[in-house]
Amino acid sequence: MNYLKLAALVASLAATSVWANSLTSPQKNAVRSAKQYLSLQGFSRSGLITQLSSDYGEGYEQHDATIAVDSLNVDWNKQAVRSAKQYLDLQGFSCKGLIQQLSSDFGDGFTVSQATYGAKQAGACE
């Protein structure tokens, strides 16, 4: 058995539980809100933080929203695919247009790499 791998796994699990136990009450509430939003639609990391911290969203402090989102194990590529499919269900998009929508700061806020992955997996690109 590789003891280095085992030690790394134990350290990782310990850090995860310490991280979860060290969240403040507002951060724990922000985690609950984030999970609820993620169950409804696709979000980018930045989009979810904005939703949680915006006065028009949940109104959490930016710091608490960021810690809450970063404490979750989210596949942002998968979120980009969900978001891309939701856009395509509503209207037609070119590959380039969908990538721009997904990656724009005024759109969803995914990275270009995540947006490209999402658009391709959703079928907008050849």
For the chain, give every domain's residue range.
23-74, 76-122
Q: Which residue has the higher pLDDT, 14 or 65?
A: 65
Mean pLDDT of 47-76: 96
State yes or no: pLDDT of 1 exceeds 60.
no
- In sign, the C-alpha dihedral spanning 63, 37, 104, 82 is positive
**Tens digit of pLDDT for each residue in 92-123?**
999 999 999 999 999 999 999 999 999 999 99
| Reported pTM | 0.81
Q: Where are the alpha helices (DSSP H) in the chain?
A: 3-21, 25-40, 45-53, 62-70, 76-90, 95-103, 112-122
The domain over range 76-122 is classified in CATH as 1.10.10: yes
111 with 103: CB under 8 angstroms?
Answer: yes
Mean pLDDT of 10-30: 68
Domain 23-74 classification at class level: mainly alpha
Mean pLDDT of 59-79: 97
pLDDT of residue 126: 82
